[in-house]
Structure 1
Amino acid sequence: MRWTALFEDLETQLDAATRVADDAEIADRVRRGHSEVPLADRLRGQLGLTLRVSTFGGEVFQGQLTHVGAEWLVLRGQTAEIVVPLTAIRFVDGLSRTVAVEKSQVLRALGLGSVLRTLARDRARVVIHTVDGGPRLEGVIDRVGKDFAEIAVVLPGEARRAATVSAVYAVPFAGIAAVSSR
């Protein structure tokens, strides 16, 4: 009877040690898996949620996450849609635990230039927020290059005409914290 109790105790200890080792291995695999997830895929898992995004320009934007591209996200705020380059994000608040991979190679490849070209094509009035927190540039995007956008600054309510343009600025993508449009 003593031997039976001893063997049962040893078996219990072995089972417990095995469970601890298995749990540690599972936790390690999960950590390694997380290390392979890019920010864009992490954010794609949040589509439809309301998030707060803080940028290096010192501004915080809140809205429903509607789109995520390779280099950007779009929030639908109360008064505007906001495009935020992923490189301009300091932190994101309001995430769930979900991750989603974009299956479409076309959508996965759309860079910031693609979004800005759409705004330029539509002649949308935009406000460019810069990563240094400097003055906002309000107007219409005239053209988009490989790594920059040119914005024609016009007064609020004015149409983009040669006579109403007060300045044209070339803004490198790296200097853009967010682009909001109504």
Structure 2
Amino acid sequence: MAWEDELFAFLDDLEERAGALYDADRAPELADRERSEYQQVALSTRLMASVDLDLTLLVAGVGTLAGRLERVADGWCLLAGPAQDWIVRLAAIMAVEGASDRAVPEVAWSPVARLGLGSALRRLADAGERCVVHRLDGGRHDGALRRVGADFVEVLEGEPARVVLVAYDAVAAVQSREV
């Protein structure tokens, strides 16, 4: 082997060692940066990446719900179960099983996904469909949604019919079809 080849081999070896030392030195910094960046990931963005997956949600005031995640929007999601559909407030979700490892940042969401809970409730009210409004405290209101306000929904329930106003902040989920 010529001395030039030995010199280049020696320099290549030094360069590889320097690269390995640099990588080893930066590994903790990169891991810390990754942890710091991950704290910006919201539950809604993980759920958005989980659309069309079968999930199990633990919902305050309701319990365990299982079904296919059909839609995620601003503050709510639509879970299609075998016997009924559920509009679930994201704030009421305590745990999720089966979610994607990915996340879809809000800037990549469609304009339809920016519609709030009121939009979904107005659709149910327009359909005149009976539903069950489940509250965070475990209470429920059986009836039809009548009108939807800025931060509440009117539920027409009982015989004789009476109107109950339910604040959005008290809603855990809305079961669109009774079992």
Q: Is TM (by shorter chain) over 0.5?
A: yes
Alignment of 1:26-105 (within 5 A): 26-102=30-106, 103-104=108-109
Alignment of 1:94-173 (within 5 A): 94-102=98-106, 103-104=108-109, 106-134=111-139, 136-154=140-158, 164-173=159-168
Q: What TM-score comes out, normalization by structure 1 length?
A: 0.81
State the shift of 1:25 in Å: 2.7
- 1:178 paired residue number: 173
Aligned residues: percent identity?
36
State the shift of 1:37 in Å: 2.1
Amino acid across the alignment from 1:153: E
Two-structure CA RMSD over aligned residues (Å): 2.5
SS of the residue corresponding to residue 73 of structure 1 reads strand
- 1:158 paired residue number: none
Q: 1:116 to 1:27 in 2, by over 3 A?
A: same
State the shift of 1:13 in Å: 6.6
Conservation of the 8 A alpha-carbon contact between 2:47 and 2:100: no
Q: 1:165 to 1:142 in 2, by over 3 A?
A: farther
State the shift of 1:140 in Å: 0.3
Q: Which runs of 4+ in 1 moved over 6 A?
A: 7-13
Q: What TM-score comes out, normalization by structure 2 length?
A: 0.82
Amino acid across the alignment from 1:107: V
SS of the residue corresponding to residue 35 of structure 2 reads helix
Q: 1:165 to 1:34 in 2, by over 3 A?
A: farther
State the shift of 1:168 in Å: 1.9
Conservation of the 8 A alpha-carbon contact between 2:62 and 2:134: no
CA distance in 2, matches of 1:67, 1:77: 13
State the shift of 1:32 in Å: 2.5
Conservation of the 8 A alpha-carbon contact between 1:152 and 1:169: yes
SS of the residue corresponding to residue 173 of structure 2 reads strand
SS of the residue corresponding to residue 28 of structure 1 reads helix
Point out the more displaced range, 141-150 or 17-26: 17-26
Conservation of the 8 A alpha-carbon contact between 1:152 and 1:165: no
